[in-house]
Amino acid sequence: MYNIGKVAIIGGGSWATAIAKIVVGHTHHIGWYMRRDDRIEDFRRLGHNPAYLMSARFNVDEIFFSSDLNKIVEAYDTLVFVTPSPYLKNHLKKLKTRIRDKFIITAIKGIVPDDNLVCSEYFHQVYDVPYDNLSCIGGPSHAEEVALERLSYLTVGCADLEKAKAFTDNCLSSDYIKTKTSSDVVGIEYSSVLKNVYAIAAGICGGLKYGDNFQAVLMSNAVQEMHRFLKAVHPIERSMYDSVYLGDLLVTGYSNFSRNRTFGTMIGKGYSVKSAQIEMEMIAEGYFGTKCMKEINRHLHVNMPILDAVYNILYERINPQIEIKLLTDSFR
């Protein structure tokens, strides 16, 4: 079996913390890159992340913390990137160490703005990392629930399934984490971006007082829209009913833990984009994802009325009530 070597986590948010908790439970040692030295000091002192998932306790003797990305990249073999996608490029700008020979796993569930590339394609095109060394983590997995050790199902995608299996077996699988592998890296990454857009749509409809009946219609149209896009961008055999596609869409669209849904709800209730972002204090990936997906779809011309509606509301400042009414007329 492939040897994944030493594992490091890149990022300091809630999902990074949840993944770190799972991995260190298996390996009993991880490297952990966090941007801010004050956060690292507080973490060491308190035994938990001072800003996110504070109930998740760690033995800090099992963690090598550093705010120097190059130091972490040099010392570790498998790098799990868990930063918000808009900030990925800024972190990587500091990189002086080659990463093409590392096993890169992205758990970002977002798209790299400006370049409009999903993370695996960004690492491949910009850093020359071969596809066999690129992996992603997907599936319905709110960080808060994972940290509470509630049963969750994760899918690890990689062109080299042996590497995906090595990571799931040695770092993820447990009593509360069930795992599977897939070769559909690009499909998983795009579905992770789109489900955030659809969760914003669900939130907007909730804020506008549309009921559960309509939410169900919205979600069933969303999975059809997602399927159309994935068929156009990466046409392989896949079942949209797998938890990594449909399951992740449902939990992000319905759950109270969903930042994207919360963001959408505020927009539906009449908040401006800026005021909703300020009040939330956390990144709603779908805001950036909406613009990137709209730009990608300008070349593909897939019929995506939900994406178009969310884009019009967030970026063209169309009244949500008017835009959603038009959307409802397009549904079957």
Tell me the pLDDT tens digit for each residue of 91-110: 999 999 999 999 999 999 88
Using one digit for the tens of pLDDT, what is the confidence trace for 234-264?
Answer: 999 999 999 999 999 999 999 988 999 999 9
Residue 332 has pLDDT above 80, yes or no: no
Contact by Cβ (8 Å): 160, 134: no
Is residue 85 within 8 Å of residue 111, measured between CB atoms?
A: yes
Sorted by where each begins, the domain ranges of the chain are 7-183, 187-330
pLDDT of residue 284: 85
pLDDT number for residue 294: 98
What is the spatial distance between Cα 302 and Cα 226, in angstroms, rounded to a whole number? 10
Give me 86's structure tokens.
């808009």
Helix (H, G, I), strand (E, B) or coil at 270: coil
- Residue 230 is classified by DSSP as H
DSSP string, 57-103: ---GGGEEEES-HHHHHHH-SEEEE-S-GGGHHHHHHT--S--TTSE
Q: What are phi and psi of 32, to 5 degrees?
A: -145, 110
Contact 307, 125 (CB under 8 A): no
pLDDT value for 113: 87
Backbone angles phi, psi at 4, to 5 degrees: -80, -10
> What is the Cα 222 distance to its own chain's centre?
18
Name the average pLDDT for the chain.
Answer: 96
Contact call for residues 278 and 257 (beta carbons, < 8 A): no
Query: Is residue 81 exposed (0-12), middle (13-18) or buried (19+ Cβ within 10 Å)?
Result: buried
Structure confidence at residue 282 as a pLDDT band (50, 70, 90): confident
| Sequence letter at residue 273 | V
- Phi first, then psi, for residue 152 (nearest 5°) are -135, 155
Average pLDDT over residues 67-90: 95
Which two tokens mark 231?
Answer: 């068929």
pLDDT tens-digit profile of 154-179? Answer: 999 999 999 999 999 999 999 999 99
Residue 150: which residues within 8 A CB-CB, separation 6 or more?
176
Amino acid 135: pLDDT: 98
d(CA 29, CA 26): 8
* Structure-token match 């992603």, residue found: 136
pLDDT of residue 6: 98
pLDDT at 281 over 80: no
Number of H helices, E strands in the chain: 15, 10
CB 324 within 8 A of CB 205: yes
Query: What pLDDT score does 328 carry?
Result: 95
**What superfamily does domain 187-330 belong to in CATH?**
N-(1-d-carboxylethyl)-l-norvaline Dehydrogenase; domain 2 (1.10.1040.10)
pLDDT for res 37: 97
Which pLDDT does position 280 carry in this prediction? Answer: 86
- What pLDDT score was predicted for residue 50? 96
Given this model, what pLDDT does residue 257 score? 84
Homologous superfamily in CATH for domain 7-183:
NAD(P)-binding Rossmann-like Domain (3.40.50.720)
Express each pLDDT in 215-225 by its tens digit: 999 999 999 99
pLDDT of residue 171: 97
Grade residue 283 by pLDDT with cuts at 50, 70 and 90.
confident
Exposed (0-12), middle (13-18) or buried (19+): which is 34, by Cβ within 10 Å? buried
* Distance from chain centroid for Cα 208: 26
